[in-house]
Structure formats: C-alpha cells, structure tokens
A and B are shown apart, each in its own frame.
Chain A
C-alpha cells in the first residue's frame, strides 16, 4: 500500500497520537487533532504540554482504533503508524510522513497477520539462542504436537473405506476380526506416512512456507514452518510409518495372497511418496485429486476386501467409488482457500486449473456421480437395494455445496464448510457401510 493510500485512510480515525523523544530521553506521546493537507502532509495541533521545538525532528504518529464489544472482547482493530519530520507552523505542527506500517483486521484477518510474522518469531528465537545463550525453542506439548504433525483426525478418511471394505467382505461371507485390525492399523500407518511426506515435500518445494492463510483443514500441519519439527524428523516419521505399514502389508501378503497384496503395497507406496515428491509430483500435474480418489476408494476398499476374501471384486470397486470421490472432494474443497498460494508454488491442483464457475460445477458433478453410483449399482444388481440408504445424505450434500458456493475462497469463512464437507464423507460412508451390515444381518 502506498503512502498516498495510507493517507486517504487516516481520516477514518478519531485520534492521532504524536510521539517524540523528550529532553529527558523518554518518549513523550500526546493525542493531537489532525487534518490531512492536499500535498500529503498532516497538520497537528501543538499540545500545550509541548515546550520544546520539534522542528526538523523525526517523530512518529499513530492512528489507532479498537471497538470493544458489550459482552467482552473487541472488534475492528486497525492502526496506522507514520514516521517523518516535523516543521513548526505557528500553533500547529506540519508533519511530513515518509514511512509507514499498519494493520487492519478487516483487510488482513488476525490469523493471517500472525502467520505472516512467523519468520520474525523464529529469527528472534534464533537470536536469543545464539546471542544471549538462552535455550528457547518453539514448543508444543507432545500430545498436541503428535496430533498436529500427523493430522491425526484426518485418519477418518482411511477408517471409513476400511470399514466399508470390511462390511462388503462380511456381506459376501468373509470376516476375520484379527485381519480387520491389521488392515486398520496398516492403512492408518500408511495414511500417517502420506500426511507427513506431504508436509516434508511441500516444505521442500516452498508451497507451505508462502501460504499465510492456513486453516486446520488447509495449508499443511505447519509444524515445520513453526520450527516444532525439523524437515528431517518429518521425513523420518513418514518413512517409519510407511515401513511399519509395509511390514503389516508383507505379513498379510505372506498369509493372504503374496502377488496381489504386494501389488497393492507397491501402488500405495508410489502414491504416498509421489503425490508430492519429485520427479513425478502428481499434485503438481493436476492428478492429485484423482490419485486420492483412487487411493481412498478402490485401493483401500479393494485391498481390505482382498485381505478378508482373498479375491478381487468388481462390486467392491463400485461400492468404493462414493467414498473415494468424497475423500477427493475433501481435498478439492480444502484446496480452494489455497488457490493463490498453490499457484505461486507451481502446484496444479484442480481448483488452480479451473475458474470459480467450473470448480463449483466440478463439485456438483462429483456429488451427482457419488450418489448416482448407488442408483446405478442397485439398478444393475451389483449393489443390494438397501444401499440406497446412502441417499439419506443427499440433503446434507446439497447443504455442503451451497456452503462451498457461499464461502468460496475466504479461508476463514470456509472453515465450517470444510468441516461439514468432511462430515459429509463420514455420513455417506457410514450409511453405505451400515447398509452392507444390515444386508449381511438380514439377507433378503
């Protein structure tokens, strides 16, 4: 913002406070009436308490506004700070500003203001360590750090397709509890591997660093940017998670079907790392959403089914599509507030590649296909009629879509939308899983 722009906003403030260094060496501040001249200077009334001449001195003038709320708290915080020289003009001072800074929470929301200042905090901590020998490190208690670094709540996107695959297997007469537990564990570890690898590679490519409007749903976990975890620790966590997942996978391969499960492990590992890693970087080529739909749909549901039934099934693929698409839609919607930052980082997510109208169309069509699959499945006899229970989620899907439309692009306004979009996937997945459980318990 130019000084001219800033001066045009000064009139919106009630008070100006003039500060200068007093004869005793302390800063002296006083409110002063003010008016902006046509030539971009500011007339200030000379306070009676001001005994000394300020002619030729550098002073500071702040315009500050805050609106306390009746129930506590405040809103509409904004301030402008100007520096410049002062000339004496009879009973008034003529202030010529030449430098400025400021903040207006209506233009830059508080979380964004904080996020933009993270490098400053890290530099300050580094200086305390190096120059004052103080042991100051960014810190979060371990449970919070684990929760944040791994983005643990997002594991629900893995649990739902595993539950669905298991319910589908039970519907077909196959269910083993210990295999189910191993599958949940293995798939969860693989998902942790994805989340942490994604953070590592997004950090390496600078995508998360430039994003100053992250939310709990978008912009990564931020633990590397905040200095809470080093990039190498993040990569180590990812490799360990994937290695543990692979060990469970290998056990299942030896006991349930070597070639088939090895193939699923290979495809899964490829997607985990090359989602963001060089040289393939799927998400940088507009393939991220497709990869996610495939991984959280057919790959997990089919994999879970295979572990139980030792066979592949076309019906399992069909049943997996709604959940796969809705998990991809979580990503798709969460990418909307990141469009600007992803574009700067060279990421070609679908929201980066499309305009608003087509992004919304893409969302509408994805939801239509999600719920259309069950109609097709039932009509073709590939899904039991009770799976139409899933359609009970359609009104909620419509509500989520409207919310995407209404809050489109504003990271903070979109937070409830992003949360409800996740709930839509959970609701739909649980309804479909419940349908298969009911079909198993009460066969027609």
Chain B
C-alpha cells in the first residue's frame, strides 16, 4: 500500500488522461509508451492496460519489472496548476484472462473516461484490440515537482509496501 501522498499527487493520478510509461528492453534501453494510467486508491497501485495488438511492452515488463510513469503531459494532465510527478515501481503482468480480466478495471476507467462505455459496447468490431493484459504497478518511489519546476529539487516520497 502506498504511504499517504499529498493530495496534489493523487489528483494527478486520478485525472491524467495520459502518462509516459517507461519499460526497459532486453538491451537495457528505456522504451516509453504513452499510456492511460488508472489509480486505485484502495490498494495504492497504478494500472495500465495493454491491448495485445501493442504487446511489446508486456514482453519487456515480464523480462524486467522495473518501470516508471511520468505525469507531465500538459495536454493530458488535466490539473491546475501544472505539476510533474514521476513514479518508479515494480510491475507485474496479469494476462490470465485477456478477454475479460481487464474488465475489473472498468470502474476506474469509467471514472476517468466516461465515454469508454460506448467503446466497450462496440468491442466486437475490433476484437483483438479488446484482448488486453493488465500491468499492475506497485509504486516504490514518487518524485514531485510542484508547479512543474523540474529545474528545482523534487519532493521525494520513498514509498514502501506495508
């Protein structure tokens, strides 16, 4: 469970439409994917779903679970005032049921993107797009730059699981 974080950080987790999700490839090089982060306040984890159409990141996470999520996109952050948050964490891929397993995240998804219902209703038009794995990220360290001033030292929250 995440240690309690300032509300300014949780607001970012809950509102951001996009974050830069970075994994590490087999050569030890970072690979960044724009992703929709879903934050579950109850368990303190951040979830990212990945269609099997874009499954390269799943292979990378399975090989190296160390990942990060950077919340800095001005268009997709949807918070005021602007701020930047970086989360490092350990990730696990849940792909036991790629057809329906991700549906457990729908309540979180709907809260962030209410129109997702309309897309899910048409899921059979793009069947493989809706075959999805869940990447479950347990945060280990959070860096926070109030006002997005990344030229200054960040506030750092060493998060530890309980």
| Residues of A participating in the B interface, judged by any CB pair closer than 8 Å | 14-15, 17, 19-22, 24-32, 45, 47-49, 58-60, 62, 64-68, 72-74, 77, 79, 81, 83, 111, 114, 117-118, 120-122, 124-125, 128, 134, 136, 138-141, 144, 148, 216, 226, 228
B67 at the A interface (CB under 8 A): yes
> B124, A141: Cβ atoms under 8 Å?
yes
Residue from B72, B115, B131 in contact with A30 in the complex, judged by beta carbons closer than 8 Å: B72
**In whole angstroms, how far apart are the Cα atoms of A124 and B54 in the complex?**
9
Return chain B residues, CB-CB under 8 Å to A136: 95, 98
Counting from the closest, the 5 A-B pairs by CB-CB distance are A29-B70, A27-B22, A117-B53, A124-B55, A121-B52
B20 at the A interface (CB under 8 A): yes
Known: A30-B150, A66-B75, A74-B17. A140 touches B127 (CB 8 A): yes
Most-contacted residue by chain A among B30, B54, B56, B99 (CB, 10 A): B30
Return chain A residues, CB-CB under 8 Å to B51: 114, 121
For the complex, count residues of B whose C-beta is within 8 A of A. Answer: 59
Residue from B86, B88, B127, B143 in contact with A228 in the complex, judged by beta carbons closer than 8 Å: B127
The stretch from B4-12, B41-49, B151-159 touching chain A is B151-159
> B84, A28: Cβ atoms under 8 Å?
no
Residue from A30, A118, A124 in contact with B86 in the complex, judged by beta carbons closer than 8 Å: A30
Return chain A residues, CB-CB under 8 Å to B113: 72-73
> A139, B127: Cβ atoms under 8 Å?
yes
**In whole angstroms, how far apart are the Cα atoms of A125 and B128 in the complex?**
10
- CB neighbors of A among B134-162 (8 A): 140-141, 143, 145, 148, 150-154
Instruction: Please name the residue on chain A nearest to B99 by beta carbon.
Output: A139
Residue from B20, B88, B124, B153 in contact with A140 in the complex, judged by beta carbons closer than 8 Å: B124
> B58, A124: Cβ atoms under 8 Å?
yes
Nearest-Cβ distance from residue B47 to partner chain A, whole angstroms: 18
Return chain B residues, CB-CB under 8 Å to A47: 150-151
Nearest-Cβ distance from residue B100 to partner chain A, whole angstroms: 10
Q: A29-B72, A121-B55 are in contact. List 16 more A-B contacts (CB 8 A).
A: A14-B75, A17-B32, A17-B70, A19-B30, A22-B88, A29-B22, A31-B150, A62-B32, A62-B34, A64-B34, A66-B34, A68-B75, A114-B53, A121-B51, A124-B59, A139-B131
**In whole angstroms, how far apart are the Cα atoms of A90 and B46 in the complex?**
37
Return chain B residues, CB-CB under 8 Å to A216: 125
> A66, B32: Cβ atoms under 8 Å?
no
> A27, B150: Cβ atoms under 8 Å?
no
B76 at the A interface (CB under 8 A): yes
**In whole angstroms, how far apart are the Cα atoms of A64 and B16 in the complex?**
14
Nearest-Cβ distance from residue A412 to partner chain B, whole angstroms: 12
**In whole angstroms, how far apart are the Cα atoms of A24 and B9 in the complex?**
22
Nearest-Cβ distance from residue B143 to partner chain A, whole angstroms: 7
> A26, B67: Cβ atoms under 8 Å?
yes
Known: A114-B126, A120-B56, A141-B124. A20 touches B18 (CB 8 A): no
- CB neighbors of A among B12-70 (8 A): 17-18, 20, 22-24, 27-32, 34, 51-56, 58-59, 66-68, 70
Return chain B residues, CB-CB under 8 Å to A140: 124, 127
> A121, B131: Cβ atoms under 8 Å?
yes
Return chain B residues, CB-CB under 8 Å to A15: 72-74
- CB neighbors of A among B98-138 (8 A): 98-99, 113-115, 124-129, 131
Instruction: Please name the residue on chain A nearest to B129 by beta carbon.
Output: A114
> B154, A68: Cβ atoms under 8 Å?
no
Return chain A residues, CB-CB under 8 Å to B56: 120
Instruction: Please name the residue on chain A nearest to B66 by beta carbon.
Output: A26
> B20, A29: Cβ atoms under 8 Å?
yes
- Write 9 A-B pairs (CB below 8 A) sorted by A numbering: A14-B74, A17-B32, A29-B86, A31-B70, A73-B115, A117-B53, A134-B96, A139-B131, A148-B124
Residue from A60, A65, A114, A120 in contact with B55 in the complex, judged by beta carbons closer than 8 Å: A120
Instruction: Please name the residue on chain B nearest to A17 by beta carbon.
Output: B20
**In whole angstroms, how far apart are the Cα atoms of A122 and B143 in the complex?**
38
**In whole angstroms, how far apart are the Cα atoms of A88 and B29 in the complex?**
18
Return chain B residues, CB-CB under 8 Å to A60: 22, 29-32
> A118, B95: Cβ atoms under 8 Å?
no
> B76, A68: Cβ atoms under 8 Å?
yes
> A49, B150: Cβ atoms under 8 Å?
yes
Most-contacted residue by chain B among A15, A22, A64, A72 (CB, 10 A): A64
> B74, A48: Cβ atoms under 8 Å?
no
> A19, B52: Cβ atoms under 8 Å?
no
> B66, A27: Cβ atoms under 8 Å?
yes
Return chain B residues, CB-CB under 8 Å to A118: 53, 128
Most-contacted residue by chain A among B51, B52, B59, B141 (CB, 10 A): B52
> B29, A226: Cβ atoms under 8 Å?
no
> B126, A26: Cβ atoms under 8 Å?
no
